[in-house]
Homo-oligomer: A and B are copies of this chain.
Amino acid sequence: MSVSENFRGKRVLITGGLGFLGSNLARQLVEFGADVVLLDAMLPLYGGNEYNVADIRDKITVEIGDVCDKATVDRLVKGCHFIYHFAAQVSYIDSIADPWRDLELNCAGLLNVLEACREYAPEAKIVFSSSRMVLGKLEYNPVDTKHPTQPLSLYGTHKLTCEKYCAVYHRTYGLSTVVLRISNPYGPRQQMKHSKYCILGWFMRQAMEDKEITIFGDGNQIRDYVYVSDLVFQFLRAAVTDEAVGGVFNAGSGVGSRFVDAIEMVVDIVGKGKIKHLPWPKDYENIETGGFVADMTQEKKIFGWNQGVDLREGLKQMCEYYTAHSGHYW
């Protein structure tokens, strides 16, 4: 059975569905003929943007609501075959300013989804989007999913808590959970309003506006930039691969790039902007994990995922998208 057939006519709930990852996934699922429901709270400064699904709006159901509202989650989970959980507090900076809100949105939100599944959709496949921030200081590279987890931030701590929820609800209650640890995603439909996360997007905007781009330190830190279409492929496979159930997987490119090289590529592709280096502010240093490349060996084998979109090619496509649609993103 092809991947698309697994989703045809199936009900798929995507929480945080108007955001960057959720909306890109939704577009693919609509093409596959799935019955797609998006839940999004449209919180100010978060990634939710109705324009992300404007051209598929009549083919999907959109619910504006909060994943922290149990009744809403209960109602939407009923009858679902697949659930993708992206709704979250997504900025580690905000997790410092308001740890309780981070706890509520990230942990209580997922608890609502998992408890609703226990009650109303015990057969559903649940894919949780975690983050490399669960790892903390890196002990080796490339990083597989056996790496110790010592998060340096509350954001990473709560993502780890959510990973453990998935394991408990799988082992103890028999739910079909899959955890994907996303590295550094980029591509069309990410928010461009501020620099709190999706820094590549923010810098692309700075370049497009011919502004000065500030890089802290030398910018030599290695990152695993993964284009959104590669992530969508991995999300889809994770949900239909029996072997993946109960597991934790990387969702990345498997390719390491220097941060400064990625930004220089952005400036080059956009044809505007100028890079300036500044020393690291003190509080940033504490949460810097060191270079990161995802080890995708296991994922290539299990998901049949192979060659990803090359960074330059991905940035080019991204630049084309925002050149055409910038008015809807800033």
Chain A residues within CB distance 8 Å of chain B: 99-100, 103, 107-108, 111, 115, 150-154, 157-158, 160-161, 164-165, 167-168, 171-172, 286-287
Contact = CB atoms under 8 A, between A and B. Distances in A.
Contact of A286 (B103, B152, B160, B172): B172
Given A157-B161, A172-B152, A107 B111 contact: no
Contact of A161 (B150, B153, B158, B172): B158
Q: Which of A107, A157, A164 has its CB near the most chain B CB atoms (within 10 A)?
A: A164
Contact of A154 (B99, B100, B165, B287): B165
B99 A172 contact: no
Nearest to A169: B154
B99 A103 contact: no
Given A107-B107, A108-B103, A111-B100, A152 B165 contact: no
A265 B148 CA distance: 41
Contacts of A103: 103, 107-108, 111
A287 B158 CA distance: 23
Contacts of A157: 161, 164-165, 168
A167 B156 CA distance: 12
A286 B172 CA distance: 6
A112 to B, nearest CB: 8
20 contacts: A100-B108, A100-B111, A103-B108, A103-B111, A107-B107, A150-B164, A150-B167, A151-B168, A152-B171, A152-B172, A153-B168, A154-B165, A157-B161, A157-B168, A158-B161, A160-B160, A160-B161, A161-B161, A171-B286, A172-B286
Q: Which of A154, A158, A287 has its CB near the most chain B CB atoms (within 10 A)?
A: A154
Nearest to A153: B168
Nearest to A150: B167
B172 A287 contact: yes
Contacts of A167: 150-151
A179 to B, nearest CB: 13
A153 B172 contact: yes
A66 to B, nearest CB: 14
Nearest to A161: B161
Contacts of A107: 103, 107, 161
A113 to B, nearest CB: 12
Contacts of A286: 171-172
Nearest to A287: B172
Closest 4 A-B residue pairs measured CB to CB?
Answer: A157-B164, A161-B161, A172-B286, A99-B111
Contacts of A161: 107, 157-158, 160-161, 164
